[in-house]
Structure 1
Amino acid sequence: MQPVSNPFQAMKDVFIKPNQVFATIKETHNWSWIPFIVISLITAIPIYLYFNFIDFDWYRDLVIQSTAGDLSPLEQENMAKAMNQPQLLWASVIGAVVANIIANAILALYLNITTKSDEECVQGYTDWYGFTWWTSIPSIFTSVIALIILSFSQDPQLSPISLGPTSLAFIFGLEMNSPWFSLAQSVRLESIWVMYLIAVGLSQWTQLPIKKTYIIATAPYLVIWGAWALMVLL
């Protein structure tokens, strides 16, 4: 079997032989910068293109009606005046990248804590933070699909849901004013893949039982989604 010799090969091989990739990156340093940069760029590109493609007046009205439809006409007018295309473009681009950074920082903290039960695990917080970028690689597919949708669309009133084409919100065609929209937007098909990669990585980095690695990998997602669903219902 060909060894994983560089981070670009590792990014490719994580889809076909993740065990070997995680075993390799356990012994390497500074490779995690590559998936971090690639994921950040590929996350930002569809958002940048989207805001340069859409009918911004339509988009602004859509956002106001979806998020502030119960405000008075004057309040909605003031909100509309405060929204401009460059501001929203860069806020969305930077916000998406920062959201990934924060989400992975929290996940790394969780992994660092839950693996303490393995006395042979020597990885620290920064190791787990690098680890999370390798498990985030499936998110690239969402951005690629979004780019394809943008490339073929000729309608400048393209729904922003199209930026998350693997989400349940997109799949089931939920409107932005639906109480289930935010939750459905966060539940994405590649999440299953991410959970699998976390479990595989844990099996390579720790001596924890396989069953426990899958529990650790799936628990945060299931707990957050379950609690979110209860809040919507209640």
Structure 2
Amino acid sequence: MNPSSNPLVMLLDIFRSPTSCFLALHQRGAWGWQPYIVLILSPFLFWGAYFSNVDFTWLSAELSQQLNPEQLELLDSNTLLASEIISDVFGRTLAVLMLAFWFNLAAKPSVHQHGYWKWFAVSSAVMFPAVLGDIASYASLILKHGNVMYYAADLNSLNGLIKLPLTNDWSQFASSLPLLLPWYIVLGYSAVLTWTEFERGQALVISALPWVGYYLIWAIYILVS
């Protein structure tokens, strides 16, 4: 397997040949900034399109059934736009940083050692399919002529399918849980196999454990509280 020949091909290889992508990142860790930059720019484009297309009068009327009057008085399109963009950018950045920390920690027993920022590059590639979710969200928005609630507009999340209202205890959980989680796990699995000598089972556990552990603890917390 040959590494990706240039940064653009590397982005394509995240989808068609992950091993080639991770071989390229092993040689040129700085290329990892490109998927990260696209990953955090994408929410600006999607949410900008959403609030340009949605009927804000209709949106406010729907929200009035879920929020109290004091909360509604503070909401306008610019506030919601900024809130959603900041939430996505912060959430994706935190996920990449924490995933890189986990990979760096979990790979310590390996004879092949890589620095934190190398794993940051890997984590950016692992999260990159979220850009496809943004594209799918935009397509859904156009097909529905903007008549979709903002908390159910992002098809990267489970709530994009089940559309739980803000008043539901599971709404925030569903809005956080990525539909592309299996893809993230597979990409992480491929990266660990490519960069270490670990067996397949060990690589799968390393890739899946942070995701499964985080959402399992969160779900248990909701159930017991």
Identical positions, percent? 23
Q: Which whole-Å deviations, capped at 9, do the CAs of 1:115-136 have from their partners, x for residues lacking one?
A: 1111x23211111111111111
Contact 2:43–2:89 (8 Å) recurs in 1:
yes
1:136 aligns with 2:120: no
Deviation per CA, 1:40-69: give whole Å up to 9, x if none. Answer: 222321111112222324434544643x4x
Aligned residues: 224
Check if 1:99 corresponds to 2:78. no
SS of 2:53 mapped into structure 1: coil
Instruction: Identify if the C-alpha distance between structure 1 residues 138 and 7 changes in structure 2 by more than 3 Å, giving closer, same or farther.
Output: same
| 1:116 aligns with one of 74, 97, 108 | 108
What TM-score, normalized by structure 1, do the two folds share? 0.86
Q: Among 145, 160, 168, which residue is 1:170 paired with?
A: 160
- 1:52-71 correspondence runs (5 A): 52-63=52-63, 65-66=65-66, 68=67
- 2:169 paired residue number: 179
- Aligned residue identity for 1:151: I
Q: 2:218 corresponds to which residue?
A: 228
Tell me if the contact between 2:157 and 2:174 (Cα under 8 Å) persists in the aligned partners. Answer: yes
Q: Give the structure 1 partner of residue 71 of structure 2.
A: 79
Please tell me the root mean square deviation across aligned C-alpha atoms, in Å.
2.0
Write out per-residue CA displacement over residues 24-54 of structure 1, whole angstroms, 9 at most, x where no aligned residue.
2101131112111222222321111112222
Summarize deviations over 1:45-94 as a string: whole Å, max 9, x none: 1111112222324434544643x4xxxxxxx3332222222222123213
Residue in 1 aligned with 2:14? 14
1 CA distance for matches of 2:15 and 2:147?
35
Of structures 1 and 2, the larger Rg is shown by: 1
Q: Is this contact kept in 2: 1:44–1:96, CA < 8 A?
A: no
Describe the shift of the 1:216–1:29 C-alpha distance in structure 2 as closer, same or farther (beyond 3 A).
closer
Q: Tell me, in whole angstroms, the C-alpha distance in 1 between the residues paired with 2:20 and 2:43.
A: 26
